[in-house]
Structure 1
Amino acid sequence: MSVLAKAAYFWRSAASGLRHAPFIHFVAVTTIAIAIFSAGLAQATGRMVEALIGSLGGEVQVTVYLSPELDEEGAAVLRERMVALSGGKAYLVPPRAALERLATELGDLGEALAQLPENPLPPSLELEVPPERRTPGALKILAQQLRALPGVTGVDYGEEAVERLSAISKALRYGGWVAFAVVLIATVVIVSATLQLAIYARRGEIEIQKLVGATDRFVKAPFLIEGFLQGLLGAGVALAGLVAFERFAGPGLASLFSFLVGPGGMVPLLEPRIALELLAAGCALGLGGSFIAVGRFLRV
């Protein structure tokens, strides 16, 4: 039998298997579709969280409080040293400007600041840190270096908030991987179990093939193709579900979370690259389940 004839036979046999046991394969396709749909939602959520963390991280600002005795020339020299240390940008905030900003932020309560006998705020330098140095460890080291400079009385960068934000990001990332592993294992187990039922239903055909001299690979190939088709169908259903979800539920979610991500901050569920990845993942799940099924059932 030629290679093309074998390939045609394998695909016909796989298609016949799907037709003869529709319910069994429906369960497998539905399981894969749920897994891929969940993976697509989780991936979009993770990208949205990363974007949110990036936007919040962009607001990380180091405030360096200077000694009141420091003159403008000394503050300028200190500013240059801070820029060299951090690789970012620094802006001098005089005490009067800092007091006016505080009064604006307090609103109606800011009028009480006008009754103060003198300005209690020291001069300060606001330092914008580059993105690569916004991690908790890098910011802590930078703060220690800045505190060691002469003329610096204090450094504030919201240490607790930065560390908490980083911890949330790590927890979401690790939790996503654990959840993905659990769903992956459960999907492969269910798919392999359903395919074992399909193989059992065709045990008579398999015995005849072995009796006439069919090789191991010849017997297994149609079932592997069945698993591939299951994965392909399941991924297709999942992609259609993601498109429908984004179309009908996306606008409502965008308005609900606009206060966090902004009016245009919602991450699209499907991009061409992500759609191809999910499609490949579905085919891999189907193939993996079928490979396990034929390996456990067909002791050939």
Structure 2
Amino acid sequence: MSALSKVTYFCRSAAVGLKHSPFVHFIAVTTIAIALFSAGMARGAARVLDNLLASLGGEVEVTVYLSPELDADEVHGVRALVLALSGGEVTLVSPDAALSRLRTELGDLGEALAELPENPLPVSLELRVPPERRNPDALLALAKALRAAPGVAGVDYGEAAVQRLSAIARALRFGSLVAFAVVLGATVVIVAATLQLAIYSRRGEIEIQKLVGATDRFVKAPFLLEGLLQGVLGAAVALFGLWAFGRVLGPTLGALFAFLLGPGVAAPWVEPRLALELLCAGCGLGLGGSFVAVGRFLRV
């Protein structure tokens, strides 16, 4: 039998298998679709979380407090050092300007500041870091370097909030990874079980093939192709579900959380790279489940 004849036979046999057991294959396709849809939703949530971290990093204002004993030349020297360490924009804020700003922010309560015998606020530098350094790790490293600089009395950028959010993000990613691994394992088991039912219904055909000298590889090929088709169909259903979710709820989410997450939350939920990854994952799940099912049946 030529290679083309074999491929034609395998495709025809796989199509016949799908036609004879539609409900069994529907269960397998649905299981794969649910697993891949969950994976796509997790990827979308991770992207939104990354946008939140980036947005928070951009909004955080790094304030460097200088020692009160520094003279004007030393203050400008520290400013130049901070500028060199950060690579961003540095604004010098005098004690009078800082007190005036605080009085404005306090509103009616700001009048109480007029009773102070002297201005308690030190000279400070307001630092706007470049975009590539607006992440928790980079901000922490920058704060450590600034605190070690001579003439710096303190550095504040909301470190506790940034670190807490970063820890939450790591915990969510780890939890989603564990959950996804469990879902993948369960999907392979379900696909293998459903496909084994389809194989069992065609056991007479398999026995005839074995009697006439067909190899295990020849017997396995149509069922592996069925699993591959299941994976492709499952990935297609999952991608359609993600597209529909983005079309229906994407604009609503963007309107609700744009003030916090920025425009990234309204980005398309189905991107070319994600589509390719889900398609490959679906093919892998279908092939894996069919390989397990066929191997178990042939051993029996």
Query: TM > 0.5 between the two?
Result: yes
Structure 2 partner of 1:171: 171
1:180 paired residue number: 180
1: CA distance, partners of 2:34 / 2:13:
26
Partner of 1:60 in structure 2? 60
Q: Structure 1 residues 255, 59: closer, same or farther in 2, change over 3 A? A: closer
Q: d(CA) in 1 for partners of 2:286 and 2:103? A: 63
- Kept after mapping to 2: 8 A contact 1:60/1:129: no
Cα displacement string for residues 112-148 of structure 1 (whole angstroms, at most 9, x for unaligned residues): 3344343221111123344565565655554444334
- Taking the TM superposition and a 5 Å limit, the aligned residue runs for 1:73-84 are 73-84=73-84
Q: Deviations over 1:222-271 (max 9, x none)?
A: 00000001111111111111122222222222233234213664332111
| Aligned counterparts of 1:111 and 1:219: Cα–Cα separation in 2 | 88
Number of aligned residues: 300
Tell me the equivalent position of 1:201. 201
Q: CA deviation at 1:59?
A: 2.8
SS of equivalent residue, structure 2 residue 59: coil
Decide whether the 8 Å contact of 1:44 with 1:267 is kept in 2: no
The CA distance in 2 between the partners of 1:277 and 1:144, in whole Å, is: 39
Could you state the TM-score of these two structures normalised by the residue count of structure 1? 0.92
Q: How far apart in 1 are the matches of 2:90 and 2:222? A: 67
- One-letter code of the match for 2:18? L
Aligned partners of 2:14 and 2:223 also within 8 Å: yes
Stretch moving more, 285-294 or 60-69: 60-69
CA separation of 1:121 and 1:232: change in aligned 2, threshold 3 A? same
Establish whether residue 9 from structure 1 lines up as the match of residue 9 from structure 2: yes
* Residue 125, structure 1, aligned to residue 125, structure 2: yes
Contact 1:62 1:126 in 2 (8 A): yes
Moved over 6 A (4+): none
Matches within 5 A, 1:1-300: 1-130=1-130, 139-262=139-262, 265-299=265-299
Q: CA deviation at 1:60?
A: 3.4
In the alignment, is the contact (CA less than 8 A) between 2:24 and 2:198 conserved in 1?
Answer: yes
Cα pair distance change 1:142/1:273, threshold 3 Å = closer
Counterpart CA distance in 2 for 1:208 and 1:98 is 90
SS of the residue 2:299 aligns to: coil
User: Secondary structure in 2 aligned to 1:258?
Assistant: helix
Q: 1:255 touches 1:263 (CA, 8 Å); kept in 2?
A: no
| Separation of aligned partners in 1, 2:32 and 2:244 | 18
Secondary structure at the residue paired with 1:249? helix
Note the C-alpha offset of 1:153: 2.2
Distance in 2 separating the partners of 1:143 and 1:242? 41
Please give the secondary structure, in 2, of the residue aligned with 1:90: strand
What is the TM-score with the length of structure 2 in the denominator?
A: 0.92
What CA distance in whole angstroms lies between the structure 1 residues aligned with 2:264 and 2:108?
33
Q: Is there any run of 5+ residues in structure 1 with no aligned partner, and where? A: none
Larger mean Cα displacement after TM superposition, 136-145 or 69-78: 136-145
Alpha-carbon distance in structure 2 between the residues aligned to 1:265 and 1:113:
42
Please report how far the alpha carbon of residue 163 of structure 1 lies from its aligned counterpart in structure 2 after TM superposition. Answer: 1.6
Mean CA deviation greater in 105-114 or 234-243:
105-114
Query: Is the partner of 1:70 in helix, strand or coil?
Result: coil
Partners of 1:46 and 1:134 lie apart in 2 by 17
Task: Report percent identity of matched pairs.
Answer: 72
**RMSD across aligned C-alpha pairs, in angstroms?**
2.1
What is the one-letter code of the residue matched to 1:43?
A: R
- Contact 2:51/2:264 (CA < 8 Å) preserved in 1? no
Query: Partner of 2:126: helix, strand, or coil?
Result: strand
1:261 partner letter: L
